[in-house]
Structure 1
Amino acid sequence: MAANKLERILGSDIVKYVLNTIEEGILIVDAGCRIVFYNGTLSRLEGLAAKEVVGKLLFDVFPSITPQESTLCKVMETGEPIRDWLQEYVNYQGKQIKTVNTTIPIIDKGTMLGALEVSRDISLVVSLTEKVSFLQRFAGKGGKPPISFANIVGDSPKIRAIVDRLKKVAHTTSTVLIYGETGTGKELFAQSLHNEGRRRNQPFIAQNCAALPESLLEGMLFGSTKGSFTGAVDKAGLFEQAQGGTVFLDEINSMSLSLQAKILRVLQEGAVRRLGGGEDIPVDVRFIAATNEKPAELLAAGKLREDLFYRLSVICVEIPPLRERREDIYGLAGYFINKYNSRFQKRVTGLAPEVMAIFLRYGWPGNVRELEHVVEALLNFTDSGLITAEHLKYLSFGAFQNFIERQNLTGTGGGEAGNYFKASFGRQEEKLIIEAMQSSHGNITRAAELLGMKRQALQYRLKKYGILNKPAER
């Protein structure tokens, strides 16, 4: 009776259409674990046609799963849903499948009709994460030179102060917490810190905590033991893989508070326990963590454990957004132009003054990463010489394009637009020169280095703007 009722519900063409068009896999079984629905997404994932599995027992189609391991059986036993359950299994064709599943019982007026499971394929995510982890463990061994503080482009006082500070702590084992908006280069600073220290010849393993479902993230960090979840095998986690080196956890605030507590335990005890395991495994790693939100705001909102924050922030640094260090735009733009000149075999020499004026005025919400993407896009449409305002019309994405369209800044530089460019560029240039002169305490040679220009060019501009005759407080 229950099976017939479930089949009548699923018999609707509208229900079938909806379930077959969503991006997640859908598997529905009746109370006897007989498959009654199997959607197109799951069919593509597992390489099975619906007609091959519908009507068969679940365990005949997936022989590697036992009734004791099956989440579908569990929810029908308990009547309670299971959410975000990591599952690895082999179908009867021998294909390895990795998913994160949410399973719910189907109950009608107290009668258990069956269960529905929604599967999100993470096979590619897991594979890529494991490959990145492997490459990170062997980075710098016979490959390209490791990233260091010398790779950090920027002569603004704020950036130089951060570099000087991190160089002082590079040889210690203290934990470091880095705060910075998205795109400010937090991982670049973390890698530099690792490669300047005594652990430089050991692994540096980075993991973005927001990039994976939590059940998968926990397994990736701590490792697993056989039977800890469906299809689990004995496997070392990232903490063990980074033995003797550094673990960098980005966006640590995206973790649940319960997972944060487990991270705190590793920090305090210097040991990890694999999922499903009962043995503590000693680990010697340096911790660097990062957030893209202000720690004080995270603490106030309850998104970051206070005890974890204090344990992580022995050394705490804030990477300023690009809008607060606009003088670095000169050097960064030049760096990215050279990078993509080499990659694209172009001969672009720089940004025209009107384009630099726009770059200096724009707020760069995506920070250095956004600047790089804009420069890369522009070099697709420029073969040599200067990038001019005319080239901006080719941009077709993001906040930068919206900004130049709102300001009507994609002209050729003549007329009203040209006057705006000249005036805007002049104001920004004068302001940056004044700041550079103040930072160098009036040393013209040093100020020219900060601005990325020749000493003679700076002397000309000092006279042009009458800066040497202006009050010091400017």
Structure 2
Amino acid sequence: MFEHIVQSILPHIEEGIHVIDEKGKTILYNSAMADIEGLEVDHVMGRYILKVFPSLNEDTSTVLKVLKTGETIKKYKQSYLNLKGKKISTINTTLPIIQDEKIIGAIEIAKDIDKVTDLSRQIIKLQQRLIEPNKGKRKTVNHYTFEDIIGKDKELIKAIAFGKRACKTSSSVLIYGETGTGKEMFAQSIHYEGNRKDKPFIGQNCAALPETLLESILFGTSKGSFTGAIDRPGLFEQANGGTLFLDEINSMSLALQAKLLRVLQESYIRRVGGTKDIPVDVRIIASTNEHPLKAMKEKHIRRDLYYRINVISIEIPPLRNRKDDITVLIDHFIRYYNEKLNKDVWMISEDLLEAFLNYSWPGNVRELQNFIESAMNMILEDHVIKKEHLPSHVEELMAQNTSLHTGDEDLKDFINVENLNKYLENVEKNIIKKYLNKNRYNITRTSKDLGISRQNLQYKIKKHNLDL
């Protein structure tokens, strides 16, 4: 049954998929991969990979390397020849397949680099078209300041205070917050209330683009760096004198992080394919949607880069820890969408408010805003938002993600546990994790907050696999 499902899905996946077993023989190979590599599916299935691609060896084949080491390779640019002598260039992500702690195979997900390059050209051209007409002109744009950050939660107020201090310097800032907590609002506020407010603020999400495209966008391109490439400035040059916001920097490849580190250390960039060093004066504000220490442990952020960008550290609390702010935010969004949608909504119903207060908000403030906007679009003449104004999937989602009045992070898994011991273990794990994050994994402070000994805390950290 499972194999039938996989075989049904594979032809409809746009990326190339190539799976080998523990002996290096192909066991899955979809038509998209066949198109990329210029081969027939039947010609590859069941064969040892080096027989199909003789230009590779055990060291240069990414799937064989992952099969040997068990380490994931992300967004790796690879060039090789197929049996017909055709050159293939791809961007690959390769993962080990592990069963019972044993590597039983590897799966490679590939994109045709020519298509990625075409996309790169289109984005760079569009970017240039947007920049060039406004070169030398001061644009009036909407941007955020700290006044736009709504809430009275103690931890949020603390984060805002840190942000206001950051306005007074040009040091790098690292903002940690879950998706939807408002990291870019903080970044813009720091810039537009700081000394660089009259200079450009440019934001770039690092998770949205493959490594080669992101590198071209950040550093620019020189004529001849790839077919059709011309001299174009990257974001560093465009943000010169101002601020560059790198959102979700933990999604940037380690190789590109190394190049970013060099720019921060030496204050100059070199365009892709270029030989000239160009000086830049740019303040970096970066963000991560996972705890920085966890990101370093899992090799999502280089340690040397972390110490370079984490000069000023700001942590934005998730909405589930800001229960008192939910009603404040609801009122704010109702006023906002009344004006935008020409509505006359006054409030939400008591039962919906109770449901909101019990919900864990995995999407944070952005999710709450989406719920309110969606409901207000459904209201005709009513003045009160009720459950029936929300899409049906929202009520189901909220039922699955209720925090059960524990006051802790999110114990929605209670409905799935089979016994009290398992439930209590989940409670203990979530509480310890919450206080570890609060205290930045400082064992002494965390044990003091929890009222247990350091030795006992270290035992529980190991028990729940919460080690750094």
> Normalising to structure 1: TM-score of the pair?
0.61
Shift of 1:21: 6.5
Superposed, 1:11-410 pairs within 5 Å as: 23=14, 104-107=80-83, 112=84, 114-115=86-87, 119=112, 121=115, 127=122, 141-383=138-380, 384-392=382-390, 394-396=391-393, 401-404=396-399
Q: 1:113 to 1:285 in 2, by over 3 A?
A: closer
1:213-251 per-residue CA deviation (whole Å, 9 max, x = no partner) reads 100000110111112223221111100010110000011
Using the aligned pairs only, state the percent identity: 45
Q: 1:372 to 1:134 in 2, by over 3 A?
A: farther
Shift of 1:113: 5.0
Contact 1:136 1:204 in 2 (8 A): no
SS of aligned partner of 1:275: coil
Mapped to 2, the partners of 1:234 and 1:142 lie a distance apart of 24
Shift of 1:190: 0.1
1:257-282 per-residue CA deviation (whole Å, 9 max, x = no partner) reads 11111111111111111112222111
Shift of 1:377: 1.2
Shift of 1:191: 0.3
Mapped to 2, the partners of 1:225 and 1:249 lie a distance apart of 23
- Which residue of structure 2 aligns with residue 453 of structure 1? none
Mapped to 1, the partners of 2:205 and 2:355 lie a distance apart of 32
1:118-166 per-residue CA deviation (whole Å, 9 max, x = no partner) reads 6374556765677578769979945344321111111112111211221
Return 5+ residue gaps in structure 1 as ranges: 1-17, 26-38, 44-75, 84-99, 408-474
* Matched residues, number: 328
Question: Residue type of the partner of 1:154?
Answer: G
SS of aligned partner of 2:259: helix
Q: 1:404 to 1:341 in 2, by over 3 A?
A: farther
Q: Which has the larger radius of gyration?
A: 1
Mapped to 2, the partners of 1:186 and 1:172 lie a distance apart of 19
1:333-374 per-residue CA deviation (whole Å, 9 max, x = no partner) reads 122222222222211112111111111110000101111111
SS of aligned partner of 2:383: strand
Contact 1:224 1:274 in 2 (8 A): yes
Contact 1:378 1:395 in 2 (8 A): no
Mapped to 2, the partners of 1:268 and 1:405 lie a distance apart of 47
SS of aligned partner of 2:323: coil
Mapped to 1, the partners of 2:131 and 2:358 lie a distance apart of 38
> Normalising to structure 2: TM-score of the pair?
0.62
Contact 1:156 1:328 in 2 (8 A): yes
SS of aligned partner of 1:161: helix
RMSD value over aligned CA atoms?
3.8
Mapped to 2, the partners of 1:344 and 1:207 lie a distance apart of 30
